[in-house]
Chains A and B, each alone.
Chain A
Amino acid sequence: ETGVTQSPTHLIKTRGQQVTLRCSSQSGHNTVSWYQQALGQGPQFIFQYYREEENGRGNFPPRFSGLQFPNYSSELNVNALELDDSALYLCASSLVPGGRSTGELFFGEGSRLTVL
């Protein structure tokens, strides 16, 4: 069983640039969620994708966008990077039965983004 994999593991960008982060979900999982974890904080929900459509969004501006592909892999795109976007970005996959999630999230090891 293949776990959740994310790429790249580390990257450095400058303010105003754009970044794309990638995630491959665990085998058999059809739902991908993205979380932002700032230093010393808990993960904050960005959005979730289910069957290639956004299925819930947290309090993040539109410059945070995503995609899910037919193989359930996903991308997180962030435009016009700001210094506060520096964080660990975590991808999590799950098998959502519908309705409120009772299932666990399976996390990747994250992509650490530094914005200078």
Chain B
Amino acid sequence: AQSVTQLGSHVSVSEGALVLLRCNYSSSVPPYLFWYVQYPNQGLQLLLKYTSAATLVKGINGFEAEFKKSETSFHLTKPSAHMSDAAEYFCAVSGTGNQFYFGTGTSLTVIP
């Protein structure tokens, strides 16, 4: 079975500060992992994905994530937060049957 756990439903950072959003996964098969972002009243947009190539994955808008098998983690980071980064972020794992399992989300607030 596959699942993801996002630690921290709300994260606040100052503009220009490091963003760290945490995701741990559980998977009975080698996982394919994703981070999606959702802006208010919009659908989800892919930030980045890990599909067993390089463990450090770079995505859009300056985000990146590192796959750590020993820690079963796939945390999302960005060196310097921007006001436009305020949104809901979802970690997801692709499971058998082609379905994605999403975490409960982390709401990011950026303080000016």
A→B interface (CB under 8 Å): 4, 31, 33, 35, 40-45, 48, 50, 55-56, 58, 90, 92, 96, 100-102, 104-110
**Interface residues as binary, B26-69 with A (CB distance below 8 Å gives 1, 0 otherwise):** 00010010101000011111100101000000000000000000
Cβ of A42 and Cβ of B102 under 8 Å apart? yes
Given known contacts A100-B32, A102-B32, A102-B51, is B43 in contact with A55 (CB within 8 Å)? Answer: no
List 20 other contacts, CB 8 Å, given A43-B100, A100-B94, A102-B32: A31-B98, A35-B102, A42-B104, A48-B99, A55-B97, A55-B98, A58-B99, A92-B43, A100-B98, A101-B32, A101-B98, A104-B34, A104-B49, A105-B46, A106-B46, A107-B36, A107-B43, A107-B44, A109-B42, A110-B42
15 A-B pairs with CB atoms under 8 Å apart are: A35-B100, A42-B105, A43-B100, A45-B99, A45-B101, A48-B98, A55-B97, A100-B32, A100-B94, A100-B96, A101-B98, A102-B49, A104-B34, A107-B43, A110-B43
Q: Are B95 and A100 in contact (CB under 8 A)?
A: yes
Interface size class of B (residues with CB under 8 A): 20 to 34
The 3 closest A-B pairs by CB, nearest first: A42-B102, A107-B43, A56-B97
Q: Which of A40, A42, A48, A110 is the one whose CB lies under 8 Å from B103?
A: A42
